[in-house]
Amino acid sequence: MSSEISPTALQILERYTGKRVRVILDRNFGFEGTVATVSQDPAGIWLTDAEAVVIRTTLANPLPQVVSREDRSEIFINLNSVARIEILH
């Protein structure tokens, strides 16, 4: 995302409050957790029941797979460092 997050993007994220998400920060690392709240200044999301996850792909299986997890409890993630957000079902 750009250095300035649009209010529309924050409103969309607010709809996912209470939902489980995976926030990818780079190709191999991210967090999973439940969206507790969305912050406007600084632009970010608070995750509860969070876990740090390591993600890997292989030539045989090019879809990203979580290969390890570590409990993190609660965490704030600045949206300027997010590559993508996935909603988990």
Q: Is the pLDDT of residue 66 over 60?
A: yes
pLDDT of residue 63: 86
Could you give the strand order of the β-sheet that contains 84-87, starting from the edge strand earlier in sequence? 65-78, 43-56, 29-40, 20-26, 84-87
CATH number of 7-87: 2.30.30.100
Q: Is the pLDDT of residue 6 over 90?
A: no
Contacts of 70 (CB under 8 A, 6+ apart): 51, 52
Cα 86 from Cα 22, distance rounded (Å): 5
For the full predicted model, state whether its pTM sits above 0.85.
Answer: no
| In the chain, where the domains are located | 7-87
